């Protein structure tokens, strides 16, 4: 099964192993690991029962629910929008293609607070979009939908940038053969392309979801932040800190951290399983 | 049969059109509304908003933070990429995941973590207090948390590239008697310069724009510990929406420059890739 060939012991020709690895580990330990350890220890300090008590607070539960529901909605949108954009950017030529390819990355380059006030202005009742949507009965600002819009904006590039390079590598011959053998367009997409892009697609969606869960700056301006209704978990952490309720802040922060971890772990597991399966076929 | 072919030809056009319209509404419209709102009270109001002492101070603080955090993370990114791509050792995968960890963490969680390390209710807070060292709600905290949030950007661009390039050139240089520094400067650096620049640009964009993490550790003292994104929030909540948008245009211009540089660098990388494959 998984027998690994013994790695030949090569003498290290290149210099700098000790310095660069040592420096990397030291920096990571001080800048990343130590603070995260401090957070985990803080929340561990209250014990399991205390942790559950802090979390079972209705406002905390509601904020986690709002966050997860909005992040799912945002990821669903980006799963469709991202795949569409990756597809047209790789497969078709159209006017302004370079502009669209570049502007797709705007959500990563634009500070989240700036995105937040811009989205709030657009979707407010007197804004360009809000003014058109609200008469139609669709309220975005100050609703969960608004939270989802902000999350979708800030995480939009993940799916596109994950899928794009994989699509570029797929040889058109493969599809042509399938088409010659009588497969329909949808059939080719379903049977040939989708399985090939699946690992990258899933990774992109998972990254977008993890990012949406933690988004703060873009969301708080458009959300209205009504407790129990449109208050996200990240904001509740912030509010608890300002109330000097450090235990509650730590507990909710740890939940956010864990959901992001689990999302990425599951993604890694799916990719590993995919790689093994496709390896078995080849 | 004829309608069938017309139908298949219409699909690409429909897809492209849908994609373009969605992108214009979803991504380009927020960009336009920033400038539209910033200038909605005229040019002189805009100039006054930017020239406001608190705004200028916030810009200064933001630049100072980036000036420290970005070079440190460039050094970290190069060191990490060198160790990971040029040598084989146990736990390499774990190390790579650890480097990327800040990308999937909420900025708020990052800020809270720092609070529980350096704040009064944290591990080191009381010790720092005794020595009269202020980390939280002061500049050191802002810089540290910015370093945390931006630490993966350079490493993440360099690792896949250096992995693909392999060790041959560096090994040849070393065998021919080049010192470590000579080899790095003459062989490695020219090979990675565009990816390095791209990583540094992304790192800078995030460093000047970080909001959530910084808002936890800054203490929000106007004219003292307010970075530009925090200043924008403050002005916005003062019901000076136009002033907030005016201040926001500075960061928006930086974001747009980032996109232009990115597009330029990608063209360069693509060209470089073509010339090496044709060899």
Residue B15 to chain A, least CA–CA distance (Å): 7
Cα separation of B88 and B85, whole Å?
8
Residue A171 has, within 13 A of its CA and on its CB side, a CA count of: 4
CB contact under 8 A, B241 and A38: no
Q: Residue B15 domain-assigned?
A: no
Q: Closest partner residue to A32 among B26, B83, B102, by Cβ?
A: B102
φ/ψ of A84, rounded to 5, equals -60, -45
Q: What CATH number is associated with residue A202?
A: 1.10.3720.10
**Sequential DSSP letters for B81-148:** HHHHHH---TTHHHHHHHHHHHHHS-HHHHHHHHHHHHSTTSSSHHHHHHTT---TTSHHHHHHHHHH
* A132 in contact with chain B, both atoms CB, cutoff 8 A: no
Q: B29, A27: Cβ pair inside 8 Å?
A: no
**Structure token digits, residue B200:** 């540094």
Model pLDDT for residues B21-78, shown as the tens digit of each residue = 999 999 999 999 999 999 999 999 999 999 999 999 999 999 999 999 999 999 999 9
In a domain, B61, yes or no: yes
> Does residue B262 form part of some domain?
yes
In a domain, B27, yes or no: no
> A105 and chain B: CB distance < 8 Å anywhere?
yes
**Binary contact (A253, B112; C-beta < 8 A):** yes
State pTM to two decimals: 0.90
Q: How far is A39 from chain B (nearest CA, A)?
A: 5
Domain hosting A38: range is: 18-46
- Note whether A217 and A119 are same-domain residues: yes
* Same domain? A233 vs A131: yes
Average pLDDT for residues B201-225, to the nearest whole number?
Answer: 87
Let me know if residue B11 belongs to a domain. Answer: no
Is residue A11 pLDDT above 60, yes or no? no
Interface with A, mutate which of B112, B189, B236, B269 (most A CBs under 10 A)? B112
Residues 140-179 of A with CB under 8 A from B: 152-153, 156
pLDDT on residue B1: 47
Asked if A116 and A222 sit in the same domain, the reply is: yes
Q: Are residues A226 and A87 in the same domain?
A: yes
pLDDT at B159: 93
**pLDDT of the residue at A22:** 95
On the question of pLDDT at B161 being above 80, the answer is yes
pLDDT given for residue B279 in this prediction: 34
User: Cβ of A102 and B30 within 8 Å?
Assistant: no
- Judge if A99 and A184 occupy the same domain: yes
Q: Evaluate whether B88 touches B141 at the Cβ level (below 8 Å).
A: no
Tokens of residue B73, six digits: 């993370």
pLDDT of residue A184: 77
> How many Cβ atoms sit within 10 Å of the Cβ of residue A41?
14
Q: Which residues contact B242 (CB under 8 A, 6 or more apart)?
A: B37, B38, B40, B41, B45, B49
Report the CATH number at residue B174.
1.10.3720.10
Residue B2 lies in a domain: no
Mark which residues 72-101 of B lie under 8 Å from A by CB.
76, 79-80, 82-83, 86-89, 95, 98-99, 101
Determine, yes or no, domain membership for A234. yes
Q: Tell me whether residue A42 is in a domain.
A: yes
pLDDT score at A278: 67
Residue A117 to residue A167: CA distance in whole angstroms:
35
- How many whole angstroms separate alpha carbon B230 and alpha carbon B244? 10
CA distance B153 to A131: 39
Closest CA to A204 of A266, A173, A160: A160
Q: Does B181 touch chain A (CB under 8 A)?
A: no
Give the range of the structural domain holding residue B227, as residue numbers without chain letter: 37-278
Q: Clarify whether residues A137 and A23 are in a common domain.
A: no
B8: pLDDT strictly greater than 80: no
**A77 inside domain:** yes
The string of pLDDT tens digits covering residues A94-125 is 999 999 999 999 999 999 999 999 999 999 99
Position B6 in a domain = no
Torsion, CA A180, CA A185, CA A189, CA A192, rounded to 10: -10
| A1 domain-assigned | no
Distances (CA, A) of A191 to A55, A277, B127: 44, 16, 62
pLDDT (0 to 100) of residue A5: 57
* Closest in A10, A113, A128 to B29, CB measured: A128
| Residue B218, H or E segment | helix B212-218
Q: How high is the pLDDT of residue B278?
A: 35
> Does the distance separating the beta carbons of A237 and B112 come in below 8 Å?
yes
Q: Is residue B25 part of a domain?
A: no
Surface of A (248-277) touching B: CB under 8 A = 249-250, 253, 256-257, 260-261, 263-264
Local structure of residue A134 (DSSP, 8 states): G
As a whole number, mean pLDDT of residues A61-80 equals 97
Q: List CB contacts (< 8 A) between A207 and chain B.
A: 103-104
**Residue A138 included in any domain:** yes
pLDDT at A29 over 50: yes
pLDDT at position A1: 47
User: What is the predicted pLDDT for the residue at A280?
Assistant: 53
Round the average pLDDT of chain B to a whole number and report it: 90
pLDDT of A266:
85
Number of folded domains in chain A? 2
Contacts of A60 (CB under 8 A, 6+ apart): A54, A233, A236, A248, A251, A252
**Distances, alpha carbon A56 to alpha carbons A64, A65, A100, A254, B259, in Å:** 11, 12, 45, 14, 44
What's the confidence (pLDDT) of residue B219?
A: 75
B47 at the A interface (CB within 8 A)?
no
The pLDDT of A210-234, averaged and rounded, is 94
Angstrom distance (rounded) from CA A79 to CA B260: 26
State residue B276's pLDDT score: 47
Q: Predicted confidence band at A282 (pLDDT cuts at 50, 70, 90)? A: very low
Find which of B104, B140, B157 to mutate to test the A interface (most A CBs within 10 Å of its CB): B104
Residues B126 and B118: their CA atoms lie apart, in Å, by 8
Report percent pLDDT > 90 for chain B: 65
Of residues B221 and B139, the one with the higher pLDDT is B139
pLDDT above 70 covers what percent of chain B? Answer: 93
Q: Which of B83, B101, B233 sits opposite A32 (nearest CB)?
A: B101
Please answer whether residues B148 and B159 qualify as being in contact, where contact means their C-beta atoms are separated by less than 8 angstroms: no
Q: In A96-114, which positions are buried (b, 16+ CB within 10 angstroms) versus exposed (e)?
A: eeeebbbbbbbbbbbbbbb
Name the domain count of chain B: 1
User: Quick one: average pLDDT of A15-34?
Assistant: 94
Whether residue A48 lies within 8 A of chain B, CB to CB, comes out as no
CB-based contact B213:A31 (threshold 8 Å): no
pLDDT, position B225: 84
């Amino acid at each position: 099964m998984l027998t690994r060939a013994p790695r030949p012991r090569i003498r290290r020709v290149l210099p700098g192993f000790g310095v660069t690895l040592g420096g990397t580990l030291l920096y990571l330990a001080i800048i990343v690991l130590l603070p995260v350890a401090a957070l985990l220890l803080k929340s561990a300090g209250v014990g399991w029962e205390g942790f559950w008590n802090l979390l079972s607070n209705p406002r905390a539960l509601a904020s986690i629910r709002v966050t997860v529901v909005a992040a799912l909605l945002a990821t669903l949108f980006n799963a469709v929008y991202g795949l569409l954009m990756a597809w047209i950017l790789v497969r078709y030529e159209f006017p302004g293609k370079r502009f669209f390819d570049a502007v797709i990355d705007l959500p990563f380059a634009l500070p989240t607070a700036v995105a937040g006030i811009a989205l709030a202005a657009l979707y407010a009742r007197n804004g360009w979009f809000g003014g058109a949507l609200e008469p139609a009965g669709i309220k975005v600002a100050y609703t969960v939908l608004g939270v989802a819009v902000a999350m979708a904006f800030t995480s939009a590039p993940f799916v596109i940038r994950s899928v794009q390079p994989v699509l570029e590598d797929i040889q058109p011959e493969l599809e042509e053969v399938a088409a010659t053998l009588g497969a329909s367009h949808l059939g080719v997409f379903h049977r040939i392309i989708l399985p090939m892009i699946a690992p990258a697609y899933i990774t992109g969606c998972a990254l977008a979801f993890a990012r949406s869960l933690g988004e703060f700056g873009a969301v708080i301006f458009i959300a209205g932040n009504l407790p129990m209704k449109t208050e996200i978990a990240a904001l509740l952490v912030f509010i608890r800190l300002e109330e000097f309720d450090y235990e509650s802040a730590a507990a909710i922060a740890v939940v956010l951290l864990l959901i992001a971890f689990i999302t990425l772990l599951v993604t890694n597991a799916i990719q590993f399983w995919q790689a093994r399966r496709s390896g078995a076929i080849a | 049969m004829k309608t069938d072919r017309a139908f298949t030809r219409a699909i690409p056009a429909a897809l492209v059109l849908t994609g373009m319209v969605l992108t214009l509404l979803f991504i380009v419209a927020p960009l336009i509304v920033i400038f539209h709102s910033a200038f909605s009270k005229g040019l002189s109001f805009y100039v006054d908003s930017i020239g406001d002492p608190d705004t200028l101070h916030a810009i200064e603080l933001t630049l100072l933070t980036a000036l420290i955090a970005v070079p440190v993370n460039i050094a970290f990114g190069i060191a990490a990429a060198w160790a990971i791509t040029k040598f084989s050792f146990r736990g390499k995968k774990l190390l790579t995941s650890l480097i990327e960890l800040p990308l999937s963490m909420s900025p708020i969680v990052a800020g809270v973590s720092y609070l529980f390390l350096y704040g009064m209710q944290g591990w080191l807070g009381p010790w720092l207090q005794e020595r009269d060292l202020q980390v939280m709600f002061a500049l050191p905290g802002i810089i540290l948390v910015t370093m945390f949030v931006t630490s993966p950007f350079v490493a993440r661009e360099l690792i896949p590239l250096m992995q693909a390039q392999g060790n041959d050139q560096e090994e040849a240089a070393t065998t021919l008697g080049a010192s470590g520094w000579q080899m790095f400067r003459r062989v490695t650096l020219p090979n990675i310069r565009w990816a390095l620049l791209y990583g540094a640009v992304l790192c800078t964009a995030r460093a000047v724009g970080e909001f959530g993490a910084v808002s936890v550790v800054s203490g929000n003292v106007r004219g003292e510990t307010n970075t530009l994104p925090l200043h924008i929030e403050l002005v916005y909540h003062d019901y000076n929406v136009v002033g907030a948008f005016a201040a926001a245009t500075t960061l928006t211009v930086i974001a747009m420059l980032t996109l232009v540089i990115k597009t330029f660098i990608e063209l360069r990388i693509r060209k470089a890739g073509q010339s090496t494959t044709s060899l």
